[in-house]
Structure 1
Amino acid sequence: MGSKSLRCGTRTSAAPMKAAVLGAGGLGRTIAIELAADPDVKEIAVVDKRGARSRTLQSIGRASTVRALEADVLDAAKIRTILSKVDVAVNATLPENNLRVMEACLDAGCGYVDGAAFTPTSPQEKWGLLEQLQLDSAWRDRGRTAIVSMGSDPGISNIMARVAADRLHTIDSIRVRKAASGGHKAAGYPLYSREIFLRDAMSRPVVWDGQRLAEREPVSGEEDFDFPPPIGKRHIHLFTHEEVLSLPLRLGKPIGLVDYKHDVNPELVRAIQALSALGLLEADRRIRIGEKAISFRDAFLATFPEPSTLIDPLAGALGIVVEVRGTKPDGSKASIVAALVMENREANRRRGTTSERFLTAATLTAGMNLIHGKKVRAGVLVPEELPPEVILPMLEARGISFRLSEVAG
């Protein structure tokens, strides 16, 4: 699909940006198309370990030059060489590579963004987002900026929480709610990276209870929630997500409670938890079928619908609702509700993709422009730290906006 230019008036820096997209899968492709539509972007290096995937994107550039490069993010020396020639890089590979790519960016002297963090699935592993935030001082000392977990959710959801929280003096709770429908072909399944979803589903959900992160049982906290049209009422439950980790640390106000609930099929989550407990989802677990030994994990993920392979545009929509409850400056109690809905057909019209991928790609490229235009401080930032007066117009220029409402009491 070609790249329709962004609306005029979005220029954020005097010099055009040289960008790198690491990973040319479904999300990386959409990011590259979004960058090619940006008049602030001069050059795009699309990097993938499978060079053929990068080369399919060479024709998307109009005002910008697109270079297709073959490299693995695990090849530190080669990636550093590539990154030394760009201003900002986006990691569109798996979150398990975030820290490695961040290190390469810092060594090369370029900015960094990503759309999701690494989720631990065993006591030996650490929360990737918290490890990334611990690098804040190192990035600040070098005068470089990284914006992490800057996608649709986390990402836009964090910005929604910030805008709503700014209208309150104290915060009792922040509740993030998500629903994603894709018609009968994808009902109940995630419409984003299957690997990222799998790790999140294998992990026990956590909530912020005002003092600490507290684990909860998988598929707990079930409730019916009314999303804006055309989604309507959906059954949701607690699910592991980055907002619960970052908002208590970086919003700038004490928070009594933060939780995240999703409408993904609860039976699917329970099945994943059971398979994980049996050890069948370990990366090296293989099963024999006839003469062949295959990865059980890969075979299981192959049963999930992949939106990019569906022939017709996907039906349904993505909805994100963030409710912030607290006390207003005048002492009265209120709930500020931020709501965003985007239909998949609209995302397909704009960029030939799903609403999830469009919103993630557009938000990531806005983050890249913020870094290149030096609109935010040096260090490692999360989306709720971005000044609303700066990030909101950039999102609106990319067709992203949300509605705010207030409920008294």
Structure 2
Amino acid sequence: MKVLLIGVGGVGEAIAVIAQNRPWLEKMVLADYNLERAREVCQKLGAPEKFPAEWIDARDESQIVALARKHAVDLILNAVEPRYNMPIFNAAYQAGCTYLDMAMSLSSPHPTRPYQECGVKLGDAQFEQAEAWERKGLLALVGMGADPGLSDVFARYAEKHLFDAIDEIGIRDGGNLAVRGYAFAPTFSIWTTIEECLNPPILWEAGRGWTTTEPFSEPEVFDFPEGIGPVECVNVEHEEVVLIPRWIRCGRVTFKYGLGETFINVLKTLHLLGLDSTVPVNVKGVQVAPRDVVAACLPDPAHLGDRMTGKTCVVTWVKGTKDGRPRQVFLYQVADNEACMARYGLQAVAWQTAVNPVIAMDLLQAGVWRGAGVLGPEAFDPDPFIAKMAEYEVPYGIKEMA
């Protein structure tokens, strides 16, 4: 398989590192707006012919198409912020390539009832083109990171093997990661974090469909496994709530994130000051988006691994019945930063996100996963993915709850 990887930040680098010695990978083009960053990763990998570095502007569909054709790639893997999804998605269609991303096209709130009704949902712009992709025989596999991604595979696995009927699926994301030397240092893209945390969270219920609520609402304490312990989680906008009901029969779907009081207060302050805005303002004759300034002022998550301690965990919590009896189970994956740094030289959040699209590409190349249209992870048989996790050294657990 020849891959055009667009975005060589922390997750992009992790994808290349994890995939580098896999026999199914013939070439992975490292394309980034920051060419020096792409060259840095190319040098680390030590195989410039297999991992050539290229400059790219992810806003430019024609340039993406040209680069895909230059390297005769089979798949375009989107590893940049989701504001660039549609140019990359459209370019993959034009170039006749399989498309894969880890976060879906952006939402926009309802103009008058943002905390009750959906406006444009996550992924709407992509799903609107599903028939065209299907007619062309092309696949766009969307939301294939950790969450969304592995969390959705877990949900499909639970439906297939663990339940006769499902009442509720709740995705929970939490951990105890800390970054030495910084009072505030997100371990993932702050641009994306602001986007998903300050937008109206989305919920899904059978009979009602998709609705919205207030940011950071419905706090609950979830006891995460493997020593992480209790973490307060709150409603956050996320793709699983859009994806899971499309393929899995259930009564309710939610997503809650363990952000912590400090993180929530920082996000609220950014919003209060207008620093979450993506609309450029004039600063001494220069047009700059406030959110881009915030991102530029914070440390790059790709280079925080040696300062990080702790673990991060993705949970798919399923409630329903099996053999006529109530059942609650959660399936989970924990990434320990110390272990990730020792094994791969990658920080935990980047590794946990990146390993899932790599496994998906392996299954696609082998023809084990196949399809056409715009599909989420739930559209595929979960068993081959779960089986591959051991090969890629991805531990996971299944825990019964009282």
Q: TM-score range by the shorter chain?
A: 0.7 to 0.9
Is residue 18–residue 43 contact of structure 1 (8 Å, CA) maintained in 2? yes
Is residue 145–residue 371 contact of structure 1 (8 Å, CA) maintained in 2? no
Match of 2:89 in 1: 102
TM-score by length of 2: 0.88
Partner SS state of residue 132, structure 1: helix
Aligned partners of 1:177, 1:372: CA distance in 2, in Å? 31
The CA RMSD measured in Å over matched residues stands at 2.6
Partner SS state of residue 245, structure 2: helix
Seq. identity, %:
28
Deviation at 1:92, TM superposition (A): 0.9
Q: Does 1:298 align with 2:292?
A: yes
1:97-156 per-position Cα deviation (integer Å, ceiling 9, x unaligned):
222212211221111111112343543672242322333222222222121110011111
Partner SS state of residue 65, structure 1: coil
Deviation at 1:66, TM superposition (A): 1.6
Match of 1:10 in 2: none
Is residue 104–residue 143 contact of structure 2 (8 Å, CA) maintained in 1? yes
Partner SS state of residue 309, structure 2: coil
Aligned pair partner of 1:40 in 4, 24, 46: 24
Which structure 1 residue ranges, 5 or more long, are not aligned? 1-16
Taking structure 1 as reference, are residues 144 and 296 closer, same or farther at Cα in structure 2, changes over 3 Å only? closer
Deviation at 1:241, TM superposition (A): 0.9
Partner SS state of residue 312, structure 1: helix
Taking structure 1 as reference, are residues 44 and 262 closer, same or farther at Cα in structure 2, changes over 3 Å only? same
Match of 2:335 in 1: 342
**What pairs up with 1:5-404 in 2 under 5 angstroms?**
17-59=1-43, 60-61=45-46, 65-84=50-69, 85-123=72-110, 126-166=120-160, 167-183=162-178, 185=180, 190-210=186-206, 211-251=208-248, 253=249, 255-273=250-268, 275-276=270-271, 279-286=274-281, 295-302=289-296, 304-310=298-304, 312-328=306-322, 330-375=323-368, 376-404=370-398
Partner SS state of residue 355, structure 2: helix
Aligned partners of 2:399, 2:291: CA distance in 1, in Å? 43
Is residue 305–residue 348 contact of structure 2 (8 Å, CA) maintained in 1? no
Taking structure 1 as reference, are residues 346 and 52 closer, same or farther at Cα in structure 2, changes over 3 Å only? same
Is residue 109–residue 200 contact of structure 2 (8 Å, CA) maintained in 1? no
Aligned partners of 1:342, 1:317: CA distance in 2, in Å? 6
Taking structure 1 as reference, are residues 135 and 371 closer, same or farther at Cα in structure 2, changes over 3 Å only? farther
Which structure 2 residue ranges, 5 or more long, are not aligned? 112-118
Deviation at 1:288, TM superposition (A): 5.4
Deviation at 1:91, TM superposition (A): 0.6
Aligned partners of 2:170, 2:337: CA distance in 1, in Å? 24
TM-score by length of 1: 0.87
Aligned partners of 2:401, 2:271: CA distance in 1, in Å? 42
Is residue 107–residue 123 contact of structure 2 (8 Å, CA) maintained in 1? no
Is residue 218–residue 270 contact of structure 1 (8 Å, CA) maintained in 2? no
Q: Work out the number of aligned pairs and report it.
A: 388
Letter in 1 for 2:203: V
Taking structure 1 as reference, are residues 189 and 300 closer, same or farther at Cα in structure 2, changes over 3 Å only? same
Partner SS state of residue 199, structure 1: helix
Partner SS state of residue 56, structure 1: helix
Is residue 76–residue 92 contact of structure 2 (8 Å, CA) maintained in 1? yes
